[in-house]
Amino acid sequence: MKIPYFEVAAFASRPFAGNPAGVCLLDRWLPDALLQSIATENNLAETAFLVARDGLHELRWFTPTNEIDLCGHATLASAHVLFRHRGAKGAALLFHSPRAGELGVVPEGDRLVLDFPARETEPCEVTSQLSAALGAEPLELHEARGYLAIFRSPAEIRALKPDITKLKALPTEGVIVSAPGDDCDFVSRFFVPKHGIDEDSVTGSTHCYLIPFWAERLGKQTLFARQLSRRGGELFCENGKERVRIGGYAVTYLTGEI
């Protein structure tokens, strides 16, 4: 069999920026071990697998090491493929994930906007183990998708050089670091070595926590965010009561087949 395959830079308006995602279009679900092998071979932060069924697309995401519960940039990339390369029509696309439920994507001009669940954070104590792993002590620590560590400025976020071995030893999935922005509302980075990704380039799902957090702190519901990874990314955000909207651009890097 042959699988149509695409690589898309998500949350970027040009190639070689944002977060690259693989997108595989399937006629039916293949064995999980094969899906994992494809994602491992692709060696991207996430590979998305889609099956069209009953007016929507079933969607799953795999890192190089395992399947995950929610992924923003690979969902954005999937919508880009369907609109740009498969002639999808209409005002919105609907995806269903067995782990995350229904997720919508709406085109707004050249941008695509994710409709994702809002998620809460809870304050907790800063630990010496975390500070040692990050190489710096945050102002605050919150429980989110793993930990959310708050710093004073983008300069501190950029300067972080975490110890990946120590990060893996933390009793958490990963660590989001964030601060108020200079030329945007807030900035972030995301380290998740337990999923085979030392640092994710641009992470839509962490903004399910970051958008409500900074909306409350800054007293505004519409925000512009940057992720300060080496590739960098831009996210256009809107806070809602139970949902968040995460907008971004996407660019096709390659098309082919497996």
Catalytic residues: 46
Rg (alpha carbons) of the chain, rounded to whole number: 18
Distance CA 5, CA 22 (A): 7
- Where residue 112 falls (left for φ over 0; alpha for ψ -120 to 50; beta otherwise) is beta
* CA-CA-CA-CA dihedral for 149, 153, 158, 163, to nearest 10: -30
Q: 142, 150 in Cβ contact below 8 A?
A: yes
Instruction: Give the single-character DSSP code of 31.
Output: P
What single-letter amino acid sits at 73? Answer: H
